[in-house]
Amino acid sequence: MGLLIAGNWKMNGLGDRLGEVSAVAECARTTSGHNDVLICVPSTLITRAVEAGAGLVVIGGEDCGAGVSGAFTGDISAEMLKDAGASAVIVGHSERRRNHNETDAMVATKAVAARRAGLAVIICIGETQAQRDEGAALSACSAQIAASLPVDLEFSEGSAIAYEPLWAIGTGRVPTAGEIVEVHQSIRQRLTDLMGDRNHGLRILYGGSVTAENAESILELPQVDGVLVGGASLRSHDFNGIIRAADAVTRHSGDPLRRLRHAYETDR
Ligand code: 13P
């Protein structure tokens, strides 16, 4: 399993931006191919983005409803995303938790829906600034995992937990390497407690103000299995810089070595 470089376009992008997806596909074509590239786009773009991605960029949705169909005006089911060509979906992004009052329990039902439709799922968690200031970052993330992860689920390949501290999203502020390592280690331990060995199939991504400039220093941390990128995923120039940084990291460290170090640290 290589690194996952995932973009989240949020509520951005009309058809005229699809050239960015093609340019990302071109970049992916020139890299070693060890890592996976995913772009989660607004639902209106999914079908066209799949075409532009040319099989080199996996396309995902940004949220899904819990049900298959029904009287839920404006909602989109995981099956509909799949039908449009998506292979993955983000659930529980902090912007949805905040703006749409989504609870951990709702996030868990969306993760189940994603699995039902055969989509990889990226479940987002992360502490607020206040929680970090109180020294409660680890406990906040741990509680979110316990409540928003359906632990009995056989997750589809490519699924991940994304650690996105709220104070780092769109702010240009990034946790220190030590802070990222501490939280990722604690998430891995929590996943092991909840799921046993099955957690090895789940990547742990970091998200929050990732740029082409800081990506390599984040991705070379062995506890980080990829990144979830907002603003810097909108322009292929920036996102491709992150893809190349990931490629450099896998070339240097070699994926098997990363996994070994990872397993060692998880077992301690
Ligand atoms: P930024 O990369 O713009 O900080 O956004 C992160 C994010 O929310 C990705 O889901």
At 128-176, the pLDDT tens digits run 999 999 999 999 999 999 999 998 888 888 999 999 999 999 999 999 9
Q: Is the CB of 160 under 6 A from ligand 1?
A: no
What does the pLDDT average to over 39-68? 98
- 200 assigned to active site: no
Average pLDDT, the chain: 94
pLDDT band at residue 255 using 50, 70 and 90 as cut-offs = low
- 93 assigned to active site: yes
Domains of the chain, CATH where assigned = 4-267 (3.20.20.70)
| Tens-digit pLDDT profile for residues 201-210 | 999 999 999 9
Ligand 1: centre distance to CA 130 (Å): 19
Ligand 1: centre distance to CA 267 (Å): 31
What is the separation of C-alpha 259 from the centre of its chain, rounded to a whole number of angstroms? 19
**Among 144, 102, 99, CA closest to 126:** 144
Contact by Cβ (8 Å): 175, 131? no
pLDDT band at residue 268 using 50, 70 and 90 as cut-offs = very low
Give residues with Cβ within 8 angstroms of 57, minimum separation 6: 21, 24, 25, 28, 37, 38, 39, 49
**pLDDT above 70 coverage of the chain, percent:** 94
Q: Is the CB of 229 under 6 A from ligand 1?
A: yes
pLDDT score of 51: 98
pLDDT score of 253: 77
Looking up tokens 């929050």, which residue turns up?
208
Ligand 1: centre distance to CA 184 (Å): 17
**pLDDT above 90 coverage of the chain, percent:** 88
pLDDT score of 266: 47
What does the pLDDT average to over 168-188? 97
pLDDT band at residue 90 using 50, 70 and 90 as cut-offs = very high
What does the pLDDT average to over 12-35? 96
User: What tokens does 60 get?
Assistant: 């995902």
**Among 264, 174, 259, CA closest to 224:** 259
Q: From CA 119, how far away is CA 187, in angstroms rounded?
A: 22
pLDDT at 24 over 80: yes
Q: Is the CB of 35 under 6 A from ligand 1?
A: no
Contact by Cβ (8 Å): 35, 250? yes
